[in-house]
Chain A
């Protein structure tokens, strides 16, 4: 752990977050570590729930990328609801895209649907 060697086999260390980018969750371990590591801080975590079958998610992807790059102080984690059914279940993410805002381990808000203006509005509201 802790090595920064970029190999195609390595899953990125859970503590590492790429600022200004959406981090795709690859494993349960990665998700848990990320979630737990953020409980202790006041940083905003935005969970971006998506799925392979979700056209609107793909429609919104370029906008999400652009929005996320503007808020490097927040952490954006992309969770595929079919790969992480329990996480999706915990947050009742059935209608997508769903952006769930979490601070100190608690959900404080969400945006459901491809609504870039609403997403920006809520990031601005909760980032502090």
Chain B
């Protein structure tokens, strides 16, 4: 592990609103100048963007922002001040007659925890800040650090979640899957370095990375808005009807990291089974360490799905599930947190097994 480097692990914030008027555009009516100001507070900026009938998708200098009529998802990495966006977003929503009804803040464990500014040096401090920013109407609150108990390697990364909700019943129809990958395969990761003198701009270089890496095959239906950073690094937002997906890559050796996140439904066959989608996404990076956090925001958590994901990842990618944790969050649903490492390493000259 490097002593210091770019922090790939993201902080993620989701805000859900209810509306008193019938405007179908909701939060999408927030003018761009106002959005830009909030992003400024967080210390990031828009580098690319795309929209369809369902939502707006922004690629940021440090991850992504999705604006649906009644939902905002913002995910930022590095040393960004994500929680500073809570109050401004709530205020902007209020000017559009939208009331906050649920909030979810989550993240993995930082590769370089000491490099984070306050309050991100401790989850307890982050929770205090989030709570202070939320109205009292969000009565049902829970903070949890889901820590794998296996001690057989130092890969054990915890998953941190804080949720707050006005209602105890969860109501988000989509399942959210957040995948965090470290120790990426050194050959695969080469796609995410710019070639010197390629004469391309960030958009076309990004397009090439999408193609070369196979990211375009994860969901062939999705339109991909991609961006290549200089000298390396990659981000994309995928747009497929009302479904979003997003990938961010920090390819440097010593702190390589890739995240994949998407919202999907368990029942819509047209979009691909969750296990298949996960397999294709993880296969792009062939990491030595993967965690999958799945949030079932509706009423119907099915344990069979969790077991199937483990079976498929084991069979197709040789990834063994080392730990599985499940927790319930009032108003937000069930969160399943699984950690995987290879049963044996992919490129092992000695042919040793693990």
Contacts and interface: CB of A to CB of B under 8 A. Distances in A.
B50 A114 contact: yes
A115 B48 contact: yes
A22 to B, nearest CB: 17
B230 to A, nearest CB: 12
B66 to A, nearest CB: 11
- What is the size category of the interface that chain A forms with chain B? 20 to 34
A57 B202 CA distance: 19
A117 B51 contact: no
Interface string A57-71: 111100000000000
A59 B49 contact: yes
Interface in A8-55: 51-55
A59 B239 contact: no
B229 interface: no
Interface in A80-128: 94-97, 112-115, 117-118, 121
A79 to B, nearest CB: 15
Contacts of A113: 48-50, 203, 225
Nearest to A115: B203
Given A94-B53, A113-B50, A114-B49, A55 B225 contact: no
Interface in B111-153: none
B202 A117 contact: yes
B32 interface: yes
Interface string B208-235: 0000000000000001010000000000
B52 interface: yes
A60 B47 CA distance: 11
Given A53-B25, A58-B31, A117-B201, A95 B52 contact: yes
Q: Give the one of B31, B50, B67 with max A CB within 10 A.
A: B50
- What is the size category of the interface that chain B forms with chain A? 20 to 34
B314 interface: no
B56 A118 contact: no
A72 interface: no
Contact of B239 (A52, A95, A121): A95
A55 B223 contact: no
B285 interface: no
Interface of B: 25, 28, 30-32, 35-36, 46, 48-53, 56-58, 67, 201-204, 223, 225, 239
29 contacts: A51-B51, A53-B25, A53-B28, A53-B51, A55-B28, A55-B30, A55-B56, A55-B67, A56-B50, A56-B51, A56-B58, A58-B31, A58-B32, A59-B32, A59-B46, A59-B49, A94-B52, A95-B50, A96-B51, A112-B223, A113-B49, A113-B50, A113-B203, A117-B201, A118-B201, A118-B203, A118-B204, A121-B201, A121-B204
Closest 5 CB pairs of A and B: A56-B49, A55-B56, A117-B201, A118-B203, A114-B49
Given A54-B51, A55-B28, A117-B201, 4 more contacts: A53-B53, A59-B35, A95-B52, A115-B48
